[in-house]
Structure 1
Amino acid sequence: MASLYIKDGETAELASRIARRLGTTKTEAVRRALLKVEAELGPQAAKQSTVEWLREYRRDHPLPPPTGLKADKAFFDELWGEDPD
């Protein structure tokens, strides 16, 4: 069983007040609140597919324009200071 420790005193007190008003435990009060938020988020809360995530990432972080340089063996040999064949 996992535990949830609320470190913020004000938030812990809020959970206690809500639990008392509902006549339930703090755990149940927090569970109800989280379920309500999840319902408000709706289908958007569902996990994105990797393809959708990549599409959005590429839209928000486009690649720079091409430089015209070739990244072939000669290019990498030159980077490493090696003599071309």
Structure 2
Amino acid sequence: MPLYIKDDVTADLVAQLAKLRGLTKQDAVRLAVQAELDRDQAAIPLRVRVQTLRAAHPLPPPTDQPADKAFFDDLSGGL
């Protein structure tokens, strides 16, 4: 889907970034938007990001089996 920038100042800024970096205007827009998204993501506290990750990928339930040397030796083929 095409993106039409109607604001001349914004179009000029995109052209400046594209020229400076040796990019197409499309790649310059992508780069700028990705940088802003990365900055917003970094502003989210680590605690919140970890909670979100843990909610999306919960740990399996405990098995009540000991994770001792024998357990790890068995995982690695008894080496």
Residue 20 (structure 1) aligned with residue 6 (structure 2):
no
Whole-Å Cα distance in 2 between the matches of residues 5 and 41 of structure 1?
24
Q: Within 2, Cα distance between the matches of 1:14 and 1:35?
A: 16
Task: Write the mapping of 1:1-85 to structure 2, written as runs, cut at 5 A.
Answer: 2-42=1-41
Identity across matched positions, percent: 37
Paired with 1:41 and 1:8, the residues of 2 have a C-alpha distance of 24
Offset of 1:12 from its aligned partner? 0.2
The structure showing larger relative contact order (alpha-carbon pairs under 8 Å, at least 6 residues apart) is 2
- Where has structure 1 moved over 4 Å in runs of 4 or more? none
Q: One-letter code of the match for 1:14?
A: L
The gaps in structure 2 that reach 5 residues or longer are 45-79
Q: Any unmatched runs of 5+ in structure 1?
A: 45-85
Give the CA deviation at 1:32: 0.4
RMSD, aligned CA: 1.8
Amino acid corresponding to residue 22 of structure 1 in structure 2: R
CA-CA distance at 1:9 after TM superposition: 0.5
Report how many residues are paired: 44
